[in-house]
Copies of this chain bind each other. A is one copy, B any other.
Amino acid sequence: MTITEIARSMKLAAPLMAASTNDIRVAALKSIAKALEDNKTSIFEANAIDLKNAKDNGISDAVYKRLKFDEGKLKSVLDGIDQLVSLPDPVGKTMLKRQLDDGLILESVSCPIGVIGVIFEARPDALVQISTLCIKSGNCAILKGGKETANTNQALFEVIKKSIIDAGLPGDCLFKAEQHNEIDELLECDKYVDLLIPRGSNAFVQYIMNNTKIPVMGHADGVCHVYVDKDADIDKAIRIVVDAKTQYTAACNAAETLLVDRKIAESFLPKAYEALSNANVKLRGNEEVTKLIKVESMNDDEYNTEYLDLVMSVKLVDGVEEAVDHINRFGSHHTDAIISENDKTAAYFMQMVDSAGVYQNASTRFADGFRYGFGAEVGISTSKLHARGPVGLEGLMTYKYKLYGSGQIVEDYSNGSSSFHFQDL
């Protein structure tokens, strides 16, 4: 079957999946957890093949670590499933109940989005997280993972698919695409696919956004900032800047630019330079910065650079106003932090910075579905529409309005023989 045919039959399965009870969806999740544990030997064997292929292709240590699916990764996906099991059912929540007039009741009720296409990087744990989030939220999904984990994904998917069918969910609700060229076919399926979630490089996400009529949720880049205010606790600032830059450089929530209040630059910058250099971070700065610390020189128009590496831009600003202006102009509306003991300054920063996450005295690396208590995430959105920030179950839901009448027609309300009497119930 082609991807178009798969998507078409999934669209027909979507109302059945949406009507499934929480009991059945939770049973499916528990069954998946048990089956992953029961079949871990064959999953690890499949992963060994992927790892061997990766080594033969001379893959880097960082990528190798990401491809590996071992007891530790298994435990973390099982923990995630446990959390999803215990989270309340997101389907069928009544969000509004309003009497419009006698015998005319309006409700808005949460329901799954329908058919979701997720294209994700070569990380076997991502396949489990995304599938289980879609199952818990009553959505159908077409999954396409990175080819470097093809064998592991196949082993994991077989286990998941068998478990959902055993639990009584429609078998058509999950499909794993295997060929890279199927992505382009998926992009054409706007009649059947309600939402695309691409994860990967800036160029890849841009490609998806520019080549489909299907709504896309996600983010192309993550140019996150840490602004160190004149009222900062310097020790906190140093710890947070080092963590935000180095804890996982390849992540979208890693900081790329350090902004420093000019008033404390002379005392703070040498300390930051020392700490970051010790963590192997190479700094870059404009002319003013190069006069204070030994860094590579950069132009002012380069401050929108996302390094995803042990490199960081540095700039001095005249207080919080200029920091906000810089972030709103050069940032990507992802996650930005102020380090300040002055709550008034921080409140201004958090009000005025136009980003999905605005932090006071914490590392930008906290921008993550698990760390926010969402169980897991399908991705992080820098869009302002629908979901913003880490996207968990809520971002996979929509709603519909149900109107219960007893024969009412609009003409009566138009000619004045009836009138509305709104009352929230």
Residues of chain A touching chain B, judged by Cβ–Cβ distance below 8 Å, are: 14-15, 18-19, 98, 100, 104, 106, 108, 113-114, 194-195, 209-210, 213, 215, 217, 233, 235-236, 239-240, 242-244, 247-248, 324, 328, 350-352, 354-363, 365-367, 371-373, 383-386, 388-389, 398-411, 413-414, 420, 422
Q: Is the CB of B406 within 8 A of A361?
A: yes
CB < 8 Å neighbour of A410 from B104, B365, B399, B408: B365
Residue of B nearest to A385 (CB): B386
Q: Is the CB of B240 within 8 A of A407?
A: yes
Q: Is the CB of A372 within 8 A of B357?
A: no
A324 proximity list for chain B (CB < 8 A): 15
Complex CA gap A386/B399 in Å reads 9
Complex CA gap A388/B360 in Å reads 34
A359 proximity list for chain B (CB < 8 A): 402-405
Complex CA gap A407/B228 in Å reads 12
Complex CA gap A408/B236 in Å reads 8
Q: Is the CB of A409 within 8 A of B247?
A: yes
Q: Is the CB of A357 within 8 A of B407?
A: no
Q: Say yes or no: A215-B409 contact (C-beta < 8 A), given A361-B404, A401-B356.
A: no
Complex CA gap A414/B76 in Å reads 12
Q: Is the CB of A398 within 8 A of B385?
A: yes
Residue of B nearest to A215 (CB): B385
Contacts beyond the supplied A100-B373, A386-B386: 20 A-B pairs with Cβ under 8 Å: A15-B328, A18-B351, A104-B366, A114-B384, A194-B384, A209-B213, A210-B213, A233-B407, A240-B409, A244-B409, A248-B410, A357-B400, A358-B400, A361-B404, A361-B406, A363-B405, A363-B409, A366-B403, A385-B398, A389-B400
Instruction: List 21 interface pairs A-B (beta carbons < 8 Å), by A numbering.
Output: A15-B328, A98-B373, A100-B366, A106-B372, A114-B384, A194-B384, A239-B407, A239-B409, A240-B407, A243-B410, A247-B411, A248-B410, A356-B400, A358-B400, A358-B402, A360-B402, A360-B403, A361-B404, A362-B405, A366-B403, A388-B400
Q: Is the CB of A407 within 8 A of B361?
A: yes
Q: Is the CB of B247 within 8 A of A355?
A: no
